[in-house]
A and B are shown apart, each in its own frame.
Chain A
Amino acid sequence: MSAVLGAALGPVQQHYLDEARQMQALSFAVHIPLVCFGVAFPLMVLVAEWLNLRTGDGLYRTLARRWTRIMVALFAIGVITGTILSFELGLLWPNFTATFGNVFGLGFAIEGFSFFMEAIFIGIYVYGWERMPPRWHFVSGIPIVITGFTGSMMVIAVNGWMNHPGGYRMVNGKAVDVHPWKALFGNSFFWHELVHMYIAAFIVAGFCVAATYAFGRLRGNWGRYERTAIAIPLTLAVIAAPAQLLVGDWAAREVATKQPVKLAAIEGLGKTTKSAPEHLLGWYDKKDGKVKYGIEIPYLLSLLSFHNPTATVKGLDSVPPDDRPGPVNVVRFAFQTMVGIGSLLAVLAVFTLWVRWRRRRLPITPWFYRGLVLAGPLSIVALIAGWITTEVGRQPWIVYGVMRTNAAVTGAGGVPVGYGILALVYLGVACAVVWILRRLARAPLDAHADSLPTAPVA
């Protein structure tokens, strides 16, 4: 593979590459948690509505309607933060889009349709309460769940391609002989990313929603409504969390074979090693190429990566220094944060399921609910840490082994200005989201149950 230096739009000078990367990272960090709600929240709302249709119990309907208001507010924020991401493909990385738009662009084009369907049926579902026959209203919610999946599938197909590119040939800095379907969907690398992210969405949305009701319980808010409202997201999250451990292990093995340098960065493995040990915590020292002060577990890395305790694991020295991810410790700690939090969530999940099975009830101890309140934000931290692992671990490449990030960046000035403005605007949006959610939570149970999700006429 030969690296592209000039690319389609020619070489470029950009002093603020790091700012451009941070701006992109900020935009992702804001958008990805919202994606989780976009994917998983409609399912929870539909479960509540289905329970109402099945039993005729108005409580489920109240629940579904209150959640609908939250769902639509978060969806609106997700729409705009997602739009910013698509703008940034051109604003920040025009050379990437100009060179490879013909390869990966199809994924976004299909995602556009998926998003379109999602927006249409969100419009029907949200504004159709009270005005559509109940069964049809329920049915109109199903496409939202499906498009939530297909949309994330398309975006992750593009990310999978960036990590494991194929389906084209490079000639004079241009991608020719392009087979976009093969590039995106014939790619063996994207399936684990998709499954890992999709299940993460259930964990994040489940624990976050459950956390708010757990917080309410600690303040003595614990009627039948609250217990129903916590049961649905909590059950979803505690079922998904143990499954995620297996999927995560699978993902790590895929990375081990297809992106050995990323794995080396994740593990802080400076030199190619036979019977490689695993290090927990500690600090990677660039000079020695070793992890210092960590807890060493012999053979474990080889065993986990290749199911063979004496397998050889490639180290960072398997590629020239310029081709290694710079901040190895960032990748390492992001990975360990994700795995650590994921394991804690799985423990919490198994405890919940055990109490559910043995006692046929939710746990009683306030410590469980305190843990649950923490689990919400922690799940978001794990999500973002996971994306930092895969994205920073891919550096210095934007297209792995083909195009460097510094060759993709824009030549336009003012990147720090844009970064600053966007950061301020997103800070404002974050405050607005908190404000909206508090407002919606504060509304009395019966007050807004039958009014449509809009404010009363002034």
Chain B
Amino acid sequence: MFLRDLPMLFVLGGLVLYATLAGADFGAGFWQLFAGRGAKGAHVREHAHEAMAPVWEANHVWLIFVLTVFWTSYPTAFGSIASTLAVPLFIAGIGIIFRGAAYALRSATEVPREQRMIDTAFSLASILTPFALGTIAGAIADGRVPVGNAKGDQFTSWLNPVAITIGVLAVVFSSYLAAVFLAADAVRAGDEELARSFRLRALGAGLVAGAVAVVGLIVLHHDVHPLYHELVAGRGLPAVLVSLVFGVGTLALVVVRRFEWSRYTAAVAVAAIVAGWALAQEPRLLPGLTVQQAAAGHDTLVAVVVAVIGGGLLLFPSLALLFSLTLRGHVGHIGPAPEGVAAVPPPHGPLDVLRPASAGLLARAAVACFVVGLGFLTAADAAWAHVIGVLALFAFIAIGFRAALLLPAADEAATSADPPPTP
């Protein structure tokens, strides 16, 4: 039944977007650690931070999307995975705390030494998190997560050759994506030297990523032969080939400095890897549990599909807005600001809220709303009366706020007419 597979497609799609977008975000942290010393290193770190700061929260949410769709649509599988793989999941969580805290902290730093410390914590967390998440994917692919509450081994389930290789691959691939994205951003900022240095990083990381991918196949060959077989000879093969072509193609585009295009080919390469994994493992989700068996009931799945499509209709235009505003320089710090946007609009004169007459009217309206709220919410017992009561109270808050807001006039001296407090 297609409906039972559809949420899994959403999950995989979310995974691709998370791996691509947040991957670049993690990789930016990786490059901050290996930016080198001195002014040049600081410049690289600054660029890596500034390119990601406006978009990291939006990128991060893909993980939340994956989790929520997964546990709604395949609850038993989610419970099994989260309990057996509690340790790497927890490590990823701690890494995410450090990364988010570092973004918040960096906005308040004043001296380079503080910034350096925060950047280092950020970088270490940026390496730890994709590694931990990669081992989770590896453990699932490896068939190490049995159905049940923490039925699998807490440590060997993810600390095994396959899972560790996938974890390392996640880190290397993130760095590769980040270098490609940051090179494109450097070109946009008109910084040739920075673009050159990220180009070299992209080429290096791309070659390492290819090498780790080959190692991964060898490890798979030894450890989970059926998956390996499906990947190199079965259903996964076309996807693997697509990934190979786009991976090599991305490197070629980086060589010829077509960074903007290389963003998209790199994303396709990631998508192909995820698709290859899914095709090779399908229909098995966990050992003894297929996607079809794990799926929730009909109404839940329909609700998820409706929510995802409805949410997507709002989300993608907004996301497009964010990225296009970022690329055009309306959002962020990269490149010159668009002209003629910073003008302050002409003043409209004094505010209505300051006029005593209307304030008095508003105050009376607010009190009336409060009395209505009291009557319908507190005195009455019917549900419909409570609806009216709650609406009246919200009206009281809105009108009352406007009536009671007391703003000091612009012509008042900087020191107050109120007597200063006794020291």
Please determine whether A239 and B75 come into contact, CB atoms closer than 8 angstroms: no
Please determine whether B297 and A124 come into contact, CB atoms closer than 8 angstroms: no
| A134 contacts B by Cβ under 8 Å | yes
Q: A87 and B150 in contact (CB under 8 A), knowing A79-B57, A122-B57?
A: no
- The residue in chain A whose Cβ has the minimal distance to the Cβ of B349 is A55
What residues of chain A lie closer than 8 Å to B53, measured between beta carbons? 127, 454
Residues in A237-252 with C-beta less than 8 Å from chain B = 238-240, 242-243, 246-247, 249-250
| B210 contacts A by Cβ under 8 Å | no
| A330 contacts B by Cβ under 8 Å | no
What residues of chain A lie closer than 8 Å to B80, measured between beta carbons? 9, 94, 98
Please determine whether A239 and B65 come into contact, CB atoms closer than 8 angstroms: no
Please determine whether A95 and B79 come into contact, CB atoms closer than 8 angstroms: yes
Please determine whether A56 and B421 come into contact, CB atoms closer than 8 angstroms: no
- The residue in chain A whose Cβ has the minimal distance to the Cβ of B348 is A54
| A297 contacts B by Cβ under 8 Å | no
What residues of chain A lie closer than 8 Å to B330, measured between beta carbons? 128, 131-132
Please determine whether A113 and B311 come into contact, CB atoms closer than 8 angstroms: yes
Give the docked Cα–Cα distance between A273 and B38 (Å).
76
Q: A432 and B101 in contact (CB under 8 A), knowing A132-B330, A366-B422, A439-B108?
A: yes
Give the docked Cα–Cα distance between A421 and B147 (Å).
28
Please determine whether B416 and A179 come into contact, CB atoms closer than 8 angstroms: no
Q: How far is the CB of A288 from chain B (nearest CB, A)?
A: 33
Please determine whether A102 and B296 come into contact, CB atoms closer than 8 angstroms: yes
Please determine whether B344 and A412 come into contact, CB atoms closer than 8 angstroms: no
What residues of chain B lie closer than 8 Å to A116, measured between beta carbons? 58, 61, 64-65, 311, 315, 318
Q: A246 and B374 in contact (CB under 8 A), knowing A87-B93, A90-B89?
A: yes
Please determine whether A112 and B55 come into contact, CB atoms closer than 8 angstroms: no
| A58 contacts B by Cβ under 8 Å | yes
Please determine whether A110 and B307 come into contact, CB atoms closer than 8 angstroms: yes
What residues of chain A lie closer than 8 Å to B413, measured between beta carbons? 224
Question: Which stretch of B165-173, B274-282, B394-402 is in the interface?
Answer: B394-402
The answer, among A134, A231, A236, for a CB contact under 8 Å with B345, is: A134
What residues of chain B lie closer than 8 Å to A243, measured between beta carbons? 370, 373, 393, 396-397
The answer, among B61, B103, B326, for a CB contact under 8 Å with A112, is: B61
| B357 contacts A by Cβ under 8 Å | no
What residues of chain B lie closer than 8 Å to A128, measured between beta carbons? 325, 330-331
What residues of chain B lie closer than 8 Å to A436, measured between beta carbons? 104-105, 107-108
| A295 contacts B by Cβ under 8 Å | no
**Residue among A90, A111, A188 with max Cβ neighbours from chain B (10 Å):** A90
What residues of chain B lie closer than 8 Å to A142, measured between beta carbons? none
Please determine whether A94 and B101 come into contact, CB atoms closer than 8 angstroms: no
The answer, among A61, A126, A411, A458, for a CB contact under 8 Å with B46, is: A458
Q: How far is the CB of A373 from chain B (nearest CB, A)?
A: 12
Please determine whether A220 and B421 come into contact, CB atoms closer than 8 angstroms: yes
What residues of chain A lie closer than 8 Å to B378, measured between beta carbons? 246, 249-250
Please determine whether A119 and B390 come into contact, CB atoms closer than 8 angstroms: no
| A213 contacts B by Cβ under 8 Å | no
Q: How far is the CB of B138 from chain A (nearest CB, A)?
A: 18
Please determine whether A127 and B344 come into contact, CB atoms closer than 8 angstroms: no
Give the docked Cα–Cα distance between A100 and B75 (Å).
7
**Residue among B97, B315, B333 with max Cβ neighbours from chain A (10 Å):** B97
- The residue in chain B whose Cβ has the minimal distance to the Cβ of A80 is B100
Give the docked Cα–Cα distance between A454 and B109 (Å).
8
Question: Which stretch of B177-185, B194-202, B219-227, B298-306 is in the interface?
Answer: B298-306
Please determine whether B93 and A453 come into contact, CB atoms closer than 8 angstroms: no
| A26 contacts B by Cβ under 8 Å | no
- For A302-331 the 0/1 string (1 means CB < 8 A from B) is 000001000000000000000000000000
The answer, among A9, A126, A130, for a CB contact under 8 Å with B83, is: A9
Please determine whether B341 and A83 come into contact, CB atoms closer than 8 angstroms: no
Please determine whether A120 and B321 come into contact, CB atoms closer than 8 angstroms: yes
| A298 contacts B by Cβ under 8 Å | no
What residues of chain A lie closer than 8 Å to B383, measured between beta carbons? 188
Please determine whether A454 and B107 come into contact, CB atoms closer than 8 angstroms: yes
What residues of chain B lie closer than 8 Å to A94, measured between beta carbons? 78-80, 82-83, 149-150
| B262 contacts A by Cβ under 8 Å | no
Please determine whether A126 and B54 come into contact, CB atoms closer than 8 angstroms: yes
What residues of chain A lie closer than 8 Å to B57, measured between beta carbons? 75-76, 79, 119, 122-123
Q: A117 and B418 in contact (CB under 8 A), knowing A130-B337, A243-B393, A458-B115?
A: no
Sorting the interface of chain A by its residue count into under 10, 10 to 19, 20 to 34 or 35 or more gives 35 or more
| B388 contacts A by Cβ under 8 Å | no
What residues of chain B lie closer than 8 Å to A429, measured between beta carbons? 97, 101
- The residue in chain A whose Cβ has the minimal distance to the Cβ of B45 is A458
Please determine whether B406 and A103 come into contact, CB atoms closer than 8 angstroms: no
- The residue in chain B whose Cβ has the minimal distance to the Cβ of A202 is B397
Please determine whether B78 and A223 come into contact, CB atoms closer than 8 angstroms: no
- The residue in chain A whose Cβ has the minimal distance to the Cβ of B55 is A123
Give the docked Cα–Cα distance between A228 and B405 (Å).
9
| A435 contacts B by Cβ under 8 Å | yes
Q: A115 and B61 in contact (CB under 8 A), knowing A86-B67, A98-B76, A130-B342?
A: yes
What residues of chain A lie closer than 8 Å to B237, measured between beta carbons? none
Please determine whether A112 and B64 come into contact, CB atoms closer than 8 angstroms: yes
What residues of chain B lie closer than 8 Å to A239, measured between beta carbons? 366, 396-397, 400-401, 404
- For A45-63 the 0/1 string (1 means CB < 8 A from B) is 0010001111111110100
Please determine whether A80 and B101 come into contact, CB atoms closer than 8 angstroms: yes
Residues in A167-226 with C-beta less than 8 Å from chain B = 176-181, 188, 191, 195, 199, 202, 217-218, 220, 222-224
| B160 contacts A by Cβ under 8 Å | no
Question: Which stretch of A274-282, A353-361, A385-393 is in the interface?
Answer: A353-361
Q: A307 and B97 in contact (CB under 8 A), knowing A72-B107, A97-B82, A411-B149?
A: no
| A413 contacts B by Cβ under 8 Å | yes
Give the docked Cα–Cα distance between A119 and B149 (Å).
33
Residues in B371-388 with C-beta less than 8 Å from chain A = 373-374, 377-378, 381, 383, 386
Give the docked Cα–Cα distance between A217 and B416 (Å).
11
The answer, among A98, A131, A217, for a CB contact under 8 Å with B329, is: A131
- For A140-162 the 0/1 string (1 means CB < 8 A from B) is 00010000000000000000000
| B69 contacts A by Cβ under 8 Å | yes
Q: A115 and B64 in contact (CB under 8 A), knowing A80-B101, A90-B71, A250-B378?
A: yes
Please determine whether B341 and A132 come into contact, CB atoms closer than 8 angstroms: yes
- For A69-96 the 0/1 string (1 means CB < 8 A from B) is 1001111110111011011011100110
Q: How far is the CB of A147 from chain B (nearest CB, A)?
A: 10
Please determine whether B94 and A425 come into contact, CB atoms closer than 8 angstroms: yes
What residues of chain B lie closer than 8 Å to A414, measured between beta carbons? 86-87, 154
The answer, among A61, A117, A119, for a CB contact under 8 Å with B60, is: A119
B-binding residues in A (CB < 8 A): 8-10, 12, 47, 51-59, 61, 69, 72-77, 79-81, 83-84, 86-87, 89-91, 94-95, 97-103, 105-106, 108-113, 115-117, 119-124, 126-128, 130-135, 143, 176-181, 188, 191, 195, 199, 202, 217-218, 220, 222-224, 227-228, 231-232, 235-236, 238-240, 242-243, 246-247, 249-250, 307, 353, 356-357, 360-362, 364, 366, 369, 410-414, 418, 421-422, 425, 428-429, 432-433, 435-436, 439-440, 452-458
Q: Pick 12 A–B contacts, CB within 8 A, sort by A.
A: A9-B80, A12-B149, A80-B99, A83-B63, A91-B83, A105-B75, A199-B397, A228-B407, A246-B373, A364-B419, A411-B149, A436-B108
Having A83-B100, A247-B377, A436-B108, one finds 12 other A-B pairs with CB under 8 Å, namely A80-B99, A83-B64, A112-B311, A122-B57, A123-B322, A127-B332, A195-B390, A224-B408, A243-B373, A250-B389, A429-B101, A432-B101
Top 4 nearest A-B pairs (CB, nearest first) are A90-B82, A105-B72, A98-B79, A56-B347
